[in-house]
Amino acid sequence: MGFENDLRGWLAKALLQGVPDGVVGFSFNLFEHLEPKSRFGVELVGAGSFDPSNSDWACDEVWEPSVGRSISISTEFSGETWDECLSKMGSLIMTILAEATDVAARLRSAAGVGLGFVDGELQLLWNDGQAAPAR
C-alpha cells in the first residue's frame, strides 16, 4: 500500500498541524505532470466558502498545507489515464473519510469535501456530515 500510506501520512501532517477556522471546505485537486514514476499529482486546499450547487466554491482558497501543497501519485496507483486516476483517488478519499482517525474527523468537520482535476468538474465527496452519492 505505497501511495495509500503516503497520502495518509501527508494528510496527517497537513491537517493536524492546524487548519484555520475560516476553512469550511476542502478540495483535492488533481493535476497532470510528467515525472518518471508519476503522471499525476494531488494538492489539497481549504476554501473559505462552500456551495454544493456551485463547484466554484473550491476557488475561494484560504489555506494550503504548510508541509507542501501537493504530492505525486505513483503511476502504480493511478494508472495511465486521467479517468482511472480520478476513480481511484475518489475511492481512496472516500475510504479515508469513512475511517475512525483524526484526519478523517478533520476532513468530515468541513461542510464539504471535493475532488477533481484543476481544469475539470469538481465531484462532491462529502456534504454537511454525509458522504455524497457516488457518480
pLDDT in tens, 55-86: 899 999 999 999 889 999 999 999 999 999 99
| pLDDT, tens digit, 9 for 90 and up, residues 30-55 | 999 878 889 999 999 999 999 999 98
The pLDDT of residue 1: 62
Domain extent for 55: 2-131
Which among 94, 89, 70 is positioned nearest to 79, based on CA atoms?
Answer: 89
φ, ψ dihedrals at 132, nearest 5°: -75, 155
| Total domains, the chain | 1
Residue 35: strand pairing partners: 38
Q: Give Cβ neighbours of residue 23 (< 8 Å, ≥ 6 apart).
A: 46, 47, 48, 62, 63, 110
pTM: 0.92
Look at the block and give the residue holding cell 476553512.
Answer: 23
Q: How many residues in total does the chain contain?
A: 135
